[in-house]
A and B are shown apart, each in its own frame.
Chain A
Amino acid sequence: QQQVKQSPQSLIVQKGGISIINCAYENTAFDYFPWYQQFPGKGPALLIAIRPDVSEKKEGRFTISFNKSAKQFSLHIMDSQPGDSATYFCAATKGGATNKLIFGTGTLLAVQP
């Protein structure tokens, strides 16, 4: 049973546009929600993370929006650039437990110049 559902599977955005990736979770005990970015041939790397005590977190062009009541969170990439082309994974866990991280299935983002 997929505890973290991620959509869309793939996304094509024009340079300068906004990329939006959505995730939904089932376990209400989850309290830490990171996003990982993976470039081809590389391992994933932490991009940004949020805890449910805030509804939004912004770091540069990357923003996480969190809706606790709907059990959903999303990644917004503003002013998308070709260098943002990568696979993005949302994840969730309880208490920040790294051995219990549940990953979404990933979204392949292509930003066209």
Chain B
Amino acid sequence: DAGITQSPRHKVTETGTPVTLRCHQTENHRYMYWYRQDPGHGLRLIHYSYGVKDTDKGEVSDGYSVSRSKTEDFLLTLESATSSQTSVYFCAISESSTGGNGELFFGEGSRLTVL
């Protein structure tokens, strides 16, 4: 298994509170991603990073921010959580951004419930 650790694995919070999810990798891969998984929607990209301090928006970035101060860590922050952000969040990494087999390696997910 790819060395990806997500924390926390489960979190229940209240509407309006800030939440930070952490993704830590030991693979030294340059590219890191945050996805959310919801029934009927599959996996949707929130933000991704192509290097330290280099990030970009994905398909569903509203309400989320990210930071990457070290190669191994990619943080996802919900500044003010809403019930619509209740989801399972997956971190993924890849060795390259294009070409090759374009393989993503996923973490085990963080289940977030916003009450």
Chain A residues 41 to 100 lying within 8 A of chain B, measured CB to CB, are 41-46, 49, 89, 93, 95-99
CA distance A23 to B108 in the complex (A): 25
How many Å from the CB of A21 to the closest CB on chain B? 13
Q: Among residues 11 to 60 in chain B, which have CB atoms less than 8 Å away from a CB atom of chain A? A: 31, 33, 40-45, 48, 50, 56, 58
Known: A43-B106, A43-B109. A96 touches B100 (CB 8 A): yes
Q: A19 at interface (Cβ–Cβ under 8 A)?
A: no
Once A97-B97, A105-B40 are accepted as A-B contacts, the answer to whether A46 and B48 lie under 8 Å apart by CB is no
Q: Are B102 and A93 in contact (CB under 8 A)?
A: yes
Contact (A97, B42) CB under 8 Å given A42-B108, A43-B108, A45-B106: no
Total A-B Cβ pairs within 8 A: 70
Which of these, A46, A89, A99, contacts B42 with CB under 8 Å?
Answer: A89
**Are the C-beta atoms of A101 and B90 separated by less than 8 Å?**
no
B98 touching A97 by the CB < 8 A rule? yes
Q: Is A25 an interface residue (CB 8 A)?
A: no
The answer to whether the Cβ of B86 comes within 8 Å of any Cβ in the partner chain is: no
Chain B residues near A104 (CB-CB < 8 A):
42
- Min CB gap B94→A, angstroms: 5
Residue B101 at the A interface, CB < 8 A? yes
Other A-B contacts than A46-B104, A99-B97, 9 sampled, CB-CB below 8 A, are: A32-B102, A34-B103, A42-B108, A43-B92, A45-B106, A89-B42, A96-B100, A103-B43, A105-B40
A-B contact pairs, 27 of them (CB 8 A): A32-B102, A34-B101, A36-B104, A41-B108, A42-B108, A43-B4, A43-B92, A43-B106, A43-B107, A44-B104, A46-B101, A46-B104, A93-B102, A96-B98, A96-B100, A98-B33, A98-B97, A99-B31, A99-B48, A99-B58, A101-B45, A103-B42, A103-B43, A103-B44, A104-B42, A105-B40, A105-B41
